[in-house]
Amino acid sequence: MGAPISPDLLLKAYALGVFPMADDRDAPDVYWVEPNKRAILPLEGFHLSRSLRKTIRSERFETSYNRAFHQILLGCAAPAPDRPGTWINRQIEEAVLRLHALGHAHSIETWLEGELVGGLYGISLGRAFFGESMFSRATDASKVAFAHLVARLRAGGFTLLDCQFQTPHLRSLGAVEISKARYSGLLDEALSATGASGAASGDFSALDALPEPPAISPPRATIVPGPTSAWRILQALTHTS
């Protein structure tokens, strides 16, 4: 009851297809979940709608990764009109912060005029990424963050994006539900020693290696240090492998 969750235990749980949840923010303990139906998003099946493409290209939002991990975690744990409670208690928060320090937990941030208005975080292991939670304080902020995530996973050689539970929001982006057996097979493949690309693990930073196109006009002024360009995100999302 209330005992810390070690990074090793947490990674072993994810490798088995199990993840922790709590009843509320102040719950003294966690329980472990293995859904019979699992939501995943096939990385080649992400639904980039015309309106979302236009929003990304407009650069209304700036996006970044791992710039404000703890802020994203707290944003996901905060109450919202459609989510009065949270499953992220202090144990889970501390465990995920330790995973972040070890390079196994990542965040995507969405900014509007320098203010953090949305984002998401998750756990990476092998070539699998376990999406944990997202939040939005501005229209399309979480969709832009999700598109940025998919672009990073595609560029980095990941093969599995686990969304845990299906929702209408995720379904609109291309998520599907699969059986526990099917999920186990995909997870085993993503965690195998070496994948088809020859890499043992996905590279969450590979998107940053994509070359930028020649500058046609002066670069847009940015507020957030080191934002990921809209061009790189759209290039990764629209490139057919």
pLDDT at 3: 77
> Could you give the CA distance from residue 152 to residue 208 in angstroms, rounded to a whole number?
9
Orientation of helix 230-238 relative to helix 141-155, angle to 10°:
60
- What does the domain layout of the chain look like in residue ranges? 7-206+222-238
In angstroms, the first-to-last Cα distance of the chain is: 47
**Looking up tokens 């900014």, which residue turns up?**
111
Which residues in 66-105 are b (16+ Cβ under 10 Å) and which e? bbbbeebbebbbeeeeeeeebbbbebbbebbebbbeeebb
Per-residue pLDDT in tens (0 to 9) along the chain, 241 residues:
467 899 999 999 999 999 999 999 999 999 999 999 999 999 999 999 999 999 999 999 999 999 999 999 999 999 877 777 899 999 999 999 999 999 999 999 999 999 999 999 999 999 999 999 999 999 999 999 999 999 999 999 999 999 999 999 999 999 999 999 999 999 999 999 655 555 579 999 999 988 877 765 556 667 787 789 999 999 999 876 4
Which residues in 180-193 are b (16+ Cβ under 10 Å) and which e? eeebeebbeebbee
User: In this structure, are residues 100 and 106 in contact, taking their beta carbons and an 8 Å threshold?
Assistant: yes
**In CATH terms, is domain 7-206+222-238 a member of 3.40.630.70?**
yes
Mean pLDDT, the chain, integer:
91
Which residues in 16-42 are b (16+ Cβ under 10 Å) and which e? ebebbebeebebeebeeeeeeebbbbe
